[in-house]
Amino acid sequence: MSFDLTTKQLDLKARARDLAAGIIANNAAEVDKSEQYPWDNVKALKEAGFMGMTIPTELGGPGLNFLDANLVVEEMASYCGPTGRIAVEANMGAISAVVHYGTETQKRLAADLVLDGDKPAICITEPEAGSAASQMTTRAEKRGDKYIINGKKHWITGGGVSRLHLIFARVFDERGSELGIGGFLAVRGESEGLKVGKREPTMGLRGIPETELIFENLEISEDMVLMPPSGFKRGFADLMNAYNSQRVGAGTVALGLAAGAYRNALNFSKEREQFGRPIAEFQGLQWMLADMSVQLEAARALLHKAALSAGHNGSPFPDPTLAAQGKIFTSEMALKVTTDALQVFGARGYSRNYPMERLARDARMFTIGGGTAQILRTVVASRILESKLPQTRDGYTKLAEIEAARTDLQAAE
Ligand code: FAD
Ligand code: COA
């Protein structure tokens, strides 16, 4: 696997950097302060061709790969976290699931929306099913040629601004038998029964709403079921497989935030003088900056490898283990790097007149959303040990079965 970027990729990265260092950087503080969705930035992303980069040419997109998209995401996030996240959701997650699993009609619908500036919402988490996502209770019940969805999601990124929604729900046939977990496509404004609930007041990433979504007899026609290759039975596994692209994207936003914080710290250290010389001349800070650069290079290499793993081993999506490893490493690296970079600014780092506290607040999210650092460690451990672990649903059930068998044996003795 080569880590050298091609000339085209270097050009793409340079183009993204120009845009990010211009309008995106200029708007960043105001986006955070106003907590308003950055429609101007979306317009700029759209005009630059950065919305729907991974959409194939036959659907009107440029047909770029996940690494290309992540190059753009990193640049955006290094100036504005929310804009980085918009670039993720316009290129990974729901849109990549539709591009790979959808029917022609679904692909056209999703491609047209995203290329026109929509950032789709992916709706998995419920109040009682966060890490244990497979225990969701939102129901999709078959009625003739429709599914009727009832339930509630929360922490949905883009609630109230996204148009396309990919909704995960437990599927039941007309006799009431459960078939598995499926994905359903709904367009806000066109589907009755999709209601946007309350918005969370968040610590960071304030330019994008995180809201509840309430489904009240939401009718989805059969042709808007996103059917993964092995049907509903393994629908959850297949949909989560597509979600690995978004995990790499989320890791890349964390990388961008850390890279932006490092860039600011490096520049500031050359300008700020104390004891009659630039603070960059103090070894204590030099080693902090060196450590930051090491962490950034390592994180970038891991994420690029994860992004490039898509298309190998028979899957169009990044390898699940690499995606989890990349997000764990980068999200934790970003906590350290944004905090250390803030330290380089002294009191100014703590001021809302400088970007450092915003970058640190924004970075704090990435060990939580999209699979917590603990859950992703479980994903990695279960794959390297090739086993269901006690802390997962099946592992827990297996342990309970063993315990029950032991109790029966003891009773029989
Ligand atoms: P819980 O699952 O309740 O976990 C609480 C704590 O317990 C965590 O520290 C967790 O790591 C730990 N824990 C849980 N189980 C285990 C275990 N087996 N072993 C060890 N530790 C464990 N969801 C969506 O569907 N769509 C979105 O667009 C979306 N966007 C989000 C945006 C933001 C900003 C945030 C913060 C969240 C978003 N989420 C979204 C939800 C996110 O995916 C969940 O928050 C996440 O999966 C964790 O679920 P939870 O918050 O319910 O925590
Ligand atoms: N990529 C590919 N396959 C995946 C996957 C992923 N990211 N996550 C789960 N699967 C597959 C599993 O391999 C398993 O397949 P198997 O039956 O062949 O072993 C199947 O899906 C069920 O997963 P399992 O780990 O057995 O389920 P669980 O009920 O114990 O739950 C998860 C664990 C998957 C829900 C948990 O690891 C997880 O990812 N939680 C975070 C949810 C999240 O990221 N939400 C983000 C919302 S934006």
Mutational test site, ligand 2, from 240, 331, 365, 394, max ligand atoms within 8 Å of CB = 240
Confidence class of residue 411 from pLDDT cuts 50, 70 and 90?
Answer: confident
Residues 6 or more apart in contact with residue 116 via CB below 8 angstroms: 46, 51
Query: How big is the CA angle at 54 (ends 53 and 55), to the nearest 5 degrees?
Result: 95
pLDDT score at 285:
98
Which ligand has its closest atom nearest to the C-alpha of 124? 1
Ligand 1 centre to CA of 371 (Å) is 6
Residues with CB under 6 A from ligand 1: 122-125, 130-131, 155-157, 205, 210, 365, 368-372, 374-375, 378, 391
Residues 6 or more apart in contact with residue 250 via CB below 8 angstroms: 85, 88, 327, 331, 366, 369, 370
Would you give the DSSP letter of residue 391?
T
pLDDT score at 99:
97
Ligand 2 centre to CA of 320 (Å) is 10
Confidence class of residue 2 from pLDDT cuts 50, 70 and 90?
Answer: low
pLDDT over 90 (residue 221) = yes
Query: pLDDT (tens digit, 9 = 90+) per residue, 379-390?
Result: 999 999 988 888
Phi, psi of 198 (to 5 degrees): -75, 150
Mean pLDDT of 349-366: 98
pLDDT score at 413:
78
pLDDT score at 57:
98
pLDDT score at 317:
97
Ligand 2 centre to CA of 134 (Å) is 7
Confidence class of residue 393 from pLDDT cuts 50, 70 and 90?
Answer: confident
Closest by CA to 336, choosing from 282, 292, 381, 272, is: 292
Residues 6 or more apart in contact with residue 297 via CB below 8 angstroms: none
pLDDT over 90 (residue 20) = yes
pLDDT score at 407:
82
pLDDT score at 412:
81
| Residues of the chain above pLDDT 90, percent | 91
Q: What is the pTM of this model?
A: 0.96
pLDDT score at 389:
84
Distance of CA 301 to the CA centre of its chain: 18
Query: pLDDT (tens digit, 9 = 90+) per residue, 295-354?
Result: 999 999 999 999 999 999 889 999 999 999 999 999 999 999 999 999 999 999 999 999
Ligand 2 in reach of 156 Cβ (< 6 A): no
Confidence class of residue 406 from pLDDT cuts 50, 70 and 90?
Answer: confident
Query: Mean pLDDT score of the chain, rounded to an integer?
Result: 96
Query: pLDDT (tens digit, 9 = 90+) per residue, 143-176?
Result: 999 999 999 999 999 999 999 999 999 999 999 9
Query: pLDDT (tens digit, 9 = 90+) per residue, 49-70?
Result: 999 999 999 999 999 999 999 9
pLDDT over 70 (residue 219) = yes
Nearest residue by C-alpha to atom 21 in ligand 2: 237
pLDDT over 90 (residue 1) = no
pLDDT score at 313:
83
Nearest residue by C-alpha to atom 52 in ligand 1: 130
Closest by CA to 239, choosing from 307, 185, 313, is: 185
Query: pLDDT (tens digit, 9 = 90+) per residue, 120-151?
Result: 999 999 999 999 999 999 999 999 999 999 99
pLDDT score at 40:
98
Phi, psi of 188 (to 5 degrees): -60, 135
d(CA 253, CA 342): 18
pLDDT over 90 (residue 179) = yes
Q: Which long-range contacts (CB under 8 A, 24 or more apart) does 18-27 make?
A: 19/44, 19/45, 19/48, 19/50, 19/75, 19/76, 20/75, 20/76, 20/78, 20/79, 20/80, 20/83, 21/79, 24/76, 24/79, 24/80, 24/83, 25/79, 25/80, 27/80
